[in-house]
């Protein structure tokens, strides 16, 4: 069974005012999408037929008018941001401060102790991916070793390749 229709009389009054001073077709249709069901008890299908739009468009026009007349404090917050964050950015910076000193001195940061300290701080176990994302969020990166040894000599390597036996002999 469908839920009963609830009519907001304040919205109806604002829709009547908007219908009188409407400058665009969209404004007029939004006002009519609210007024026809409220004052004439028309269904969404009847309202859609009267306005020359689809049934779903009537609901969209009603929502558009509700958003237009809503107060900024009643507006729904945007869906962006870190909704499931365990710590704020500032708290994370404070937490990483001791490890920052260690890394600045040339020390190697191992994730396992960092993960254990974070779990102790939060009071529940955390996945390793949480630590890696936190480090990435604060601009930390994995320093990979060079592709060649700093003491390697390309001429010696090439000479060895030229003079090395083609086939290995069994021992």
Query: pLDDT per residue over 115-130, tens digit each?
Result: 999 999 999 999 999 9
Residues 6 or more apart in contact with residue 16 via CB below 8 angstroms:
31, 35
Which tens digit of pLDDT belongs to each residue from 13-41?
Answer: 999 998 999 899 888 999 999 999 998 88
Mean pLDDT of 103-112: 82
Count Cβ atoms within 10 A of the Cβ of residue 48 and give its class: 0-12 exposed, 13-18 middle, 19 or more buried: buried
Predicted local confidence at residue 1, as pLDDT:
55
> What confidence category does residue 72 fall into, taking pLDDT thresholds of 50, 70 and 90?
low
116-122 long-range contacts, CB within 8 A, separation 24+? 121/87, 121/95, 122/86, 122/87
Predicted local confidence at residue 123, as pLDDT:
94
pTM of the complete model:
0.45
Q: Give the three-state DSSP class for 13.
A: helix
> What confidence category does residue 113 fall into, taking pLDDT thresholds of 50, 70 and 90?
very high
Q: In the chain, what percentage of residues exceed pLDDT 90?
A: 41
Hey, what are 129's tokens?
């991916």
Mean pLDDT of 87-94: 94
Mean pLDDT of 67-87: 75
H helices within 41-86, ranges in order? 44-51, 55-69
- The H or E element spanning position 171 is none
Count Cβ atoms within 10 A of the Cβ of residue 58 and give its class: 0-12 exposed, 13-18 middle, 19 or more buried: buried
Report the distance separating Cα 55 and Cα 143, nearest Å: 58
For the chain, the average pLDDT equals 85
Predicted local confidence at residue 7, as pLDDT:
77
């Amino acid at each position: 069974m469908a839920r009963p229709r609830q009519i907001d009389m304040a919205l109806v009054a604002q829709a009547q005012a908007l219908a009188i001073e409407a400058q665009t077709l969209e404004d007029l249709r939004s006002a009519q999408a609210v007024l026809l069901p409220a004052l004439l008890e028309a269904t969404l299908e009847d309202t859609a037929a009267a306005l020359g739009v689809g049934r779903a468009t009537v609901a969209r026009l009603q929502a558009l008018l509700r958003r237009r007349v809503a107060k900024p404090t009643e507006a729904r917050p945007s869906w962006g941001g870190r909704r499931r964050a365990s710590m704020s950015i500032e708290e994370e910076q404070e937490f990483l401060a001791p490890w920052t000193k260690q890394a600045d001195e040339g020390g190697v940061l191992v994730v396992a102790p960092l993960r254990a300290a974070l779990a102790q701080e939060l009071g529940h176990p955390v996945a390793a991916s949480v630590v890696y994302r936190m480090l990435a969020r604060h601009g930390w990166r994995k320093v990979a070793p060079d592709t060649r040894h700093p003491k390697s000599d390309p001429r010696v390597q090439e000479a060895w390749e030229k003079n090395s036996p083609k086939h290995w002999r069994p021992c």
